[in-house]
Structures are given as C-alpha cells and as structure tokens.
Structure 1
Amino acid sequence: MSGRPDGRAERWRAHRAARRAAFVDAAFRALDRHGPDAGMAEIAREAGVSKPRLYRHFADKAELHAAVAERTSALVCDRLRGAMHDSASPAARLRAAIRAYVGVLAEHPGVFRFVRAGRLGGQPGADCEAAAGVVATLLRGQLHAFGIDSPAAAPWAHGLVGAVEAAGAWWLDQDDMPQEAFVEHLTVLVGGAVNAALRSVGVPPEGREPTRQTREDDHDHSRSPA
C-alpha cells in the first residue's frame, strides 16, 4: 500500500458533510416556518429532496436534532464571543451578550423551541454547555483580574445560562414585550446576580478599587519569596 490518502474517499466525505450542512440549513428554515413540530417530511420538502434521501444522512429525527443543536450552539457562541469582544467594560459585555442571545431567539424561534424540546426529552444539552463555557470564561477573567482563584465560575455560568434560556422560552410566547425591553430586564437580573456572586468571593462592584482584603492579599503575595 502506498499510504497516500484516497482522493475519492476524501471527496465523498466532503460531499456528505456539505449535504448534511445543507439539510441542517433546510431544517432551520422548516422549523422557523412550521414550528418545533416540523417533521422529516417538511424538512425534506424544504431541502427539495425525498424523505428517503434525507434518511441517508440522518438515521432519525434524534440525529437531526443533534445536528441542529450543534449548529445552534456554534451560532450562539459566535454571537456571544463577537458581542463580548466588541464591548469594553464588563457591564457592556453583559448587555451585548444578552442582546446577542436574544437576537438568535428572535431570528430562529422555531429552532430554539425544537432544540429545547429535544433536550428536555432527554437529548444532551451541548448548546447550553457551549454557551456556559463562554460565560464561564468571562467570569474567570473577572476573578483573575482581582487575583482570585475560585471554582465558582462554572456553576455560576451554568445557572445563568439556564435562567436566561428559561426566560427566553417564556418571552417567545409573549406578544406584548418588545425585544429590547426584554433584553433590558434580563440585563438587570443577570447583572445583579453576577455582581452579588462576584462580591461573595471578594470582587468589588464595577468601577471601584479592590477590597482592603484583596489589596492586603496582593501585598502579601508580592512580598512572599518566589
């Protein structure tokens, strides 16, 4: 054997990956058009193929759910990272992140409901895990800025993401709350929770100097031998 890669096999894998991606695109459109109960028939019709053709790429709706959840996770995380990267202060990053997340919900309500319903039915929550990872990174950054090493960032992040997701599910069923008003309410809630959590481990409110204990600890560390 030559050990060289099989060009035909590589092209076939690339073709199948592209087809799966196109079918996930079609699933997004079908779910947003028909709602979370859209079936494989509606998705196949949106993709312009027969159901048997769709089943060549997804064994069942659960496998399609996993692919849609993965795409949703990537979309949410990209939006969150972009929003936080473009904002200067922690408060501005928080508001931008919530606005970005709510924006995804507003763009793809059927997809959000489909992913959430599947997860509540026992599917893994990779989308929430990924979003919580982004939030945990932000929280760790704030802790480290004050020289605090705490394992609290991960549980805080998962709690915040779960609360925001539940609020988002509620908001999608409302007809009388504008999107920006919802963003503002969530920002106040999450901002208060984050500030309280950070204060509990010694991080002062935004814009203030580190606490006396933090300064003393930093001074002690600076005097300790390397």
Structure 2
Amino acid sequence: MRNVTTKRDTVAARRAAGDPHERTRRRQLIVEAAVGAIEEYGPDAGLAAVADRAGLPRPHVYRHFTGKDDLDRAVAGHVVRLLSAWIRPPVPAPGTPYEVVHGMIGRVLSWAAAHPNLYRFRARQGAAQVVPELTGAAGAGLRAAGYRADLPAYLVAVVVGMVDAGVIWWFDHQEEVGLSQLNDWLAAQVWRVLVEAVE
C-alpha cells in the first residue's frame, strides 16, 4: 500500500510540475512555509521544517527550486516585499525630511523587533535585493511629505548596510540601548548620508 501512495504522489507531482500556475502556486507555498519556519526556528531553519510546513516530502521542495541558494533568494525577496509594504506610508507623512526619515527608520525597527529571525535572515542575504524595494519605499515616503526623492541606489545601499548593522547589534544588546534611542541615533546618521539628496 505504501508503494501505491508514493507512486500516486509522484504522478501527482509530475502533473503539477507541468502546469505553470500550479508550479507558481507551489513555489509560493514553499516560500511562505520557509518564512514561517524561519520565524519559528531562526535563520538556519532546515529543509525538514520547511517541507513539514508546506505539507510536502523533503525531496519535493527542490523540484520547485534549483537548490538552497535559489530558495533563499526567493524567501529573501518575499521578506523584502513584506518589509517594504510595512515601510510605505499608508497616509502622507507630514514633517521635515529628517522627521520623515526618522519615521521610516522607526518603521523598519518596529518590523525588525517583531520579526527578528526574518530580519537576520534578510540581512544575511545582503543588500542586492533590498535596495530597489527600499529605494521605492523611501522615495514614496519622502514624496508623500512633499519632498524630492531621487535617491541614488548607492546611497540606499549605504543606508541599508548601516541600519542592518545597527539592528543586528541591537538584537544582542537590547538591555543596553532602547529601540527609541537606536531610532534616534540611526536616523541622525542616515540623515547625514541622505541630506544632499533630499530637498
């Protein structure tokens, strides 16, 4: 009986692999399962935890990805989109450009505090995926407040590196520095980097 079930699973998986919509749906299911596993077990969550959450046998996970690096990139991209959506202002943000930057960094910090394992995972992947998304999110926030927001990608990359380093440090030193204090310090440093790019 066990062999029959395995054979049916394999046939169903092959049929699903031929349907592009089903492939896309399965990939997304696996990415969301990986996000949940990382949230629960940390950035080093294993394939078994991902497969269990996705309801798939372990070997089936990599049928939808070329390997671990491909899955990690897809998960990091998903996390970046979640963070970017959180940063984008729901309503126009009043205030000086510095106050807008301070508010956006505060949003990043609040998301990181709520999702430390996902933030650590995303930070490990580097800035390449996050820079385009956060350039758009930062620009939207500044434009909503009425300011020019043509931020060069290299400036955003510098800011991402600075904020990532500060957040990762803070995760291990929360008893020394409060989130509000970290927000003030990071906003001041980021503003020094961005001041000439914002009018």
Q: For residue 39 of structure 2, what is the aligned residue in structure 1?
A: 32
Residue 163, structure 1, aligned to residue 169, structure 2: no
**Is the CA contact 1:80–1:97 (under 8 Å) kept in the aligned structure 2?**
yes
Aligned sequence identity (%): 28
**Is the CA contact 2:48–2:58 (under 8 Å) kept in the aligned structure 1?**
yes
The 10-residue stretch of structure 1 (21-30 or 131-140) with the greater mean CA deviation from structure 2 = 131-140
Q: For residue 88 of structure 1, what is the aligned residue in structure 2?
A: 94
Could you tell me which runs of 5 or more consecutive residues in structure 1 were left unpaired when the two chains were aligned: 1-7, 145-150, 204-226
Give the total of aligned pairs: 181
- Structure 1 residues 177 and 86, CA, compared in 2 at 3 Å: closer, same or farther? farther
- Structure 1 residues 53 and 154, CA, compared in 2 at 3 Å: closer, same or farther? closer
**Higher normalized contact order (CA 8 Å, seq sep 6+, divided by chain length):** 2
- Structure 1 residues 59 and 164, CA, compared in 2 at 3 Å: closer, same or farther? same
Q: For residue 132 of structure 2, what is the aligned residue in structure 1?
A: 129
Residue 19, structure 1, aligned to residue 26, structure 2: yes
Aligned-residue Cα RMSD (Å) equals 3.2
What per-residue deviation string (whole Å, max 9, x for no partner) do you get for residues 38-79 of structure 1? 121221122222111211112211111111111111111111
* Displacement after TM superposition at 1:28 (Å): 1.0
Q: Secondary structure at the match of 2:158?
A: helix
Residue 109, structure 1, aligned to residue 121, structure 2: no
- Structure 1 residues 82 and 136, CA, compared in 2 at 3 Å: closer, same or farther? closer
Alignment of 1:185-200 (within 5 A): 185-191=182-188, 193-194=190-191, 197-198=194-195
* Displacement after TM superposition at 1:91 (Å): 4.2
TM-score (normalised: structure 1): 0.66
Could you tell me which runs of 5 or more consecutive residues in structure 2 were left unpaired when the two chains were aligned: 1-14
Cα distance between partner residues in 2 of 1:76 and 1:133: 12
Letter in 1 for 2:132: E
TM-score (normalised: structure 2): 0.73
* Displacement after TM superposition at 1:193 (Å): 4.4
